[in-house]
Amino acid sequence: MEEMNKRLQQLGVKLMPDGADKIAIIGSASSSTRLAPFRDKSFAIWGCSPGVYGAIPRKDVWFETHRWEPQEPGFPEDPTAKPWFSPEYVRFMELFEGPVMMSDPLAARTVKNCVLYPFAEMIARHGPYHFASSVSWMIALAIAMKPKAIGLWGIDMAAGEEWCVSPDTRVLTSDLRWVPVGSLQVGDDLIAFDEEAGGREDSTGAYRQWRCASVKAAERLTQPCYKIVLEDGTEIISSAEHSWLTYSEHESKWRKTKDLVTAYHRADRPTRLVKLLDTWEEDRSWAAGYLAAAFDGEGHISQVERLDGNGAAMCVGFSQRENAMSQTVLDLAKAMGLDLAFVGTGGMNADCHKYRIAGGKPEVLRFLGMVRPRRLMSKFAPGVLGTMHRKDAVAVKSTEFIGEQPVIGLTTSTGTFVAEGFASHNSTQRPGCQHFLGLAISMGIEVVLPPESDLMMPNTMYGISEINPRHIKWTARLRELQTRMNIATANQNNISQEILFLKGAIENMRYCLDQWVDNDDPGLHLAVSRSAHLVGRSDPKDLLAAPVEDAKPNGELAPPIIVKAIGKARRHRTEANP
C-alpha cells in the first residue's frame, strides 16, 4: 500500500477524485453495465475488462491485473510469447490519464500511469483463497479506501462466467448425443466425471469416475476468447479462463486456456489435452438400421461392478451362428469402423459365435450413440460407467487470441463436462466477490447491486423466484424473442397479402386476354398478314401455327411481330420497325 501511494503521488493521480466518496466497479456484463452512475460525481468509476473500455462514458481508474501481454512482436523479449491484449486495448492503457492498476512491472515501460497493485499487502490482510478474479482484487482495494458505498455494475459471476465455450461447441448428453452447448437448458443431463481423482467416497483409487451431471445454468455471455488448434485438427473456441484437463509426464492437471501455450513451453514438450471420446453423429443409414435390429434381437449390454473395486466393466456383445446374417453384421460393423472381436463359441450345440465391441468404453459408447439400438439403449445406465480413462492425449498446436466473443457460461452439478470429446471444467468461481462484499457490509459500507446481478443472490429452494436474476434475464430474453416473432409474423402477413394481390392481378390479366383479344380481330389478322409477308409466308394461318423460332427475318429487316395462338390467349412481342 505504501509503495502504491508513493507512485500515485508521483503521478499526481488519485484512486478517488475530489468530491467522490463512493466507488462504482464496472465490468462487461451487458445486462447492467450502462446502468452505472456515470453522471454522479460522488462515485469514482473503476473499470476493468477489454470488452468495456470503449463502451463506458467515464472511467477514473483502470484495472488490468493479468499478465502483461501486449500484441507487439518481440514483447516481452521472447518472440514466441502468445499475447492476448489487442493493440487497441494496449493503446488505451498507454494513453489513459488516470491510474492503471497492474500486476506486471513490464507494463511500466509503456503505460505512463502504471501503478502496481499491492498484492502482497492484500494477501497478508485477507489471505489468498477469496481472490478468485480481478473484481475480487478491486473490491478488496475499494474496502481499503473506506468509501461510503461500493457498487457493482456489469458484473455477473454466479454462472461461473469465466468458464465458457462457444455456443456451437458440442457436449455429450446422457443419452449419448453430441449437441451444441448453446442448445442446452437448465435440467438437461450430461455425461460428466469427477473433478478430481478420489474426490468422492465411491471413487476408486487414483482414478476419476464417470458421472451423470445436471445442467444448473447455461447463460449467454461475452468473454475474451482464444481459438485452440490441436494436433489432430480439432479447433475449439473458449474463454481465456476456461480450464481443460491436461496430461504430461504421467500427471493430469487443470490448465486455463490462456496458459495452454506460453513463452515457457518447449516445442518438443507441448501441452496435451486429455481426450476421453471421439465425437459421432447418429447414423440413419440402412446399414445402421440393420445393425440396430441385429443387436436388439441377438445382442446384449452389461455394466457390472468389478470385484477388484476398479470401477465398472461395460460390454456390448452379439451372438449368432455362422450364417448370412452374422457375416452381414461383421461386414457392416467393419465398414463403420467398429471392431467386433470374436470371444468364443457357446449355445446348446456350441456353434453360436460370440462377439463383443472392442476398444473399451469409448468404442462401446460410440457404437450406442451412432447406431442407437432401442432395446440396448433402454438398458444403458449413464451413471454406472465406472472408472474414467483417457483415450488419448492430443497436443495443443497453437492458441490464438480472438478478442471478445459470445460464449455459453455452463455450470453442471459435477463441475465438469465433455466438450468435443475433451475433458472440460466449468465449476463456479470461489465466492470471492461475495466474501468481500459481505466484509464491506460488516464494516458499515453500503453495497449497491442492480437487480440484474447474480451476486449475493442465493438460489431458491423451491420453484422459481421472480426476483431471481436468472428469471429476470430469461424474462427479458423471452420478451426479445416475442418481439422478433411479432415482427416476423407481420412481415409474413405482408408477404401473404402481396401474394394474394399478385394472384388477383394475374387472374385479371388472363381474363382481359381471354375476353378482349379475339382470334377474329381484323387488326390482329392485318398485323399477322404483314408479318407473313415479311417472312415470306403466303397464308397467315401458317404463321399462327408455326413455332416462334421458325419465323426469321429476311435480309437486314428486324424481327417482326410473332403471334402464336394458344386457344384464345395471345402472347405479344413488340414489333420492330422494318
Q: Is residue 178 a contact partner of residue 171, using CB atoms and an 8 Å limit?
A: yes
Residues sharing a CB contact under 8 Å with residue 442, sequence separation 6 or more, in sequence order: none
Distance (Å, whole) CA 59 – CA 64 = 13
Instruction: Examine the domain organization and report whether 151 and 262 are in the same domain.
Output: no
| SS3 call for 220 | strand
User: What does pTM read for this prediction?
Assistant: 0.56
Q: Evaluate whether residue 481 is within a structural domain.
A: no
Backbone dihedral angles phi then psi of residue 411, each to the nearest 5 degrees: -125, 130
Q: What is the pLDDT of residue 129?
A: 79
Q: What is the pLDDT of residue 298?
A: 92
Amino acid letter for position 448: V
Instruction: Examine the domain organization and report whether 142 and 90 are in the same domain.
Output: yes
Q: What is the pLDDT of residue 481?
A: 76
Q: What is the CA radius of gyration of the chain?
A: 36
First and final CA of the chain: distance in angstroms?
99
Instruction: Examine the domain organization and report whether 409 and 450 are in the same domain.
Output: no
Q: Which residue has the cell 475530489?
A: 18
Q: Evaluate whether residue 493 is within a structural domain.
A: no
Q: Evaluate whether residue 232 is within a structural domain.
A: yes
Structural domain containing residue 319:
286-384
Q: Evaluate whether residue 108 is within a structural domain.
A: yes
Strand duo 392-412 + 210-230: pairing: antiparallel
Q: Is residue 336 a contact partner of residue 366, using CB atoms and an 8 Å limit?
A: no
Q: Is residue 69 a contact partner of residue 254, using CB atoms and an 8 Å limit?
A: no
Grid coordinates representing 35? 446502468
- Give me the number of domains the chain comprises: 4
Q: Which residue has the cell 492503471?
A: 100
Instruction: Examine the domain organization and report whether 398 and 369 are in the same domain.
Output: no
Q: Is residue 56 a contact partner of residue 38, using CB atoms and an 8 Å limit?
A: yes
Q: Evaluate whether residue 496 is within a structural domain.
A: no
**Cβ atoms within 10 Å, residue 425:** 20
> Which of 529, 445, 514, 475 is CA-nearest to residue 140?
445
Q: Evaluate whether residue 482 is within a structural domain.
A: no
Q: Evaluate whether residue 475 is within a structural domain.
A: no
Distance (Å, whole) CA 471 – CA 494 = 34
Instruction: Examine the domain organization and report whether 60 and 148 are in the same domain.
Output: yes
Q: Consecutive sets of 10 residues in the chain, 578 residues long: mean pLDDT of each?
A: 90 93 89 89 93 89 85 52 71 94 89 94 89 89 96 71 79 96 92 78 65 87 87 93 84 85 72 94 93 93 68 84 92 92 83 91 94 94 88 92 86 91 78 87 93 62 48 67 81 84 82 68 51 46 44 42 40 40
Q: Is residue 418 a contact partner of residue 276, using CB atoms and an 8 Å limit?
A: yes
Q: Evaluate whether residue 508 is within a structural domain.
A: no
Grid coordinates representing 81? 510469447
Q: Which residue has the cell 501441452?
A: 271
